[in-house]
Amino acid sequence: MSHRLLAATEVLSLLVRRGETVAVAESLTAGLICAALTGPSGASAAFLGGVVSYSTELKHRLLDVPADLLAREGAVHPKVAAAMAEGVRLLAGSTYGLAVTGVAGPDPQDGKAVGTVHLAVSGPEGRVWHRDPRLAGTRDQIRESTVNEAVDLLRGVLETNVREHSG
């Protein structure tokens, strides 16, 4: 079993065991995270859906990312990832929202270097977890690495929360 499928299976198992759900907001990965999380059978028990918000305007209109934040920082920023995660969580009514934004290349965007990626998970009670890896490689490699980073971040959040809730 591939690392990605194993990680996605673990994420879904943790969510199902606790009766929780996840929704995803993707920019540079354009649906690859949704595909990874729906690979394991039974994914529909915990995966509600996703939004591909490739354009900056859609991040604002669909996910309620503040227009002033987007104007000030651009679409590739940790606070934008956090706002996307919260926006998709609220839109879907899920327990967790997972979001990614970044630059896969081949060219920089808004002054941000290729390989700049921001990931965030929004959870209950307004908690947000984030990761800001610097990734290298081709456009496809950066996108694939982003999927792995995102699934791993969500798994880490869920595993930490299991320990916090179990005593």
Taking the CB of residue 137, how many other CB atoms lie within 10 A of it?
Answer: 14
85-130 per-position pLDDT tens digit: 999 999 999 999 999 999 999 999 989 999 999 999 999 988 999 9
Query: Rg for the chain (alpha carbons), in Å?
Result: 15
Residue 79: the pLDDT is: 98
Dist CA 23 CA 152 (whole Å): 15
pLDDT band for position 167 (cuts 50, 70, 90): very low
Dist CA 167 CA 162 (whole Å): 9
Whole-angstrom CA distances from 98 to 78, 85, 137, 138 are 13, 5, 23, 24
CA-based nearest residue to 24, from 120, 144, 152, 162: 120
Average pLDDT over residues 25-33: 98
pLDDT band for position 163 (cuts 50, 70, 90): low
Residue 162: the pLDDT is: 65
Dist CA 94 CA 115 (whole Å): 29
Residue 165: the pLDDT is: 47
- What average pLDDT does the structure give for the chain? 94
Q: Give the global pTM.
A: 0.95
SS3 state of residue 78: helix
Joined together, the tokens standing for residue 153 give 């971040």
Taking the CB of residue 140, how many other CB atoms lie within 10 A of it?
Answer: 11
pLDDT band for position 161 (cuts 50, 70, 90): confident
90-102 per-position pLDDT tens digit: 999 999 999 999 9
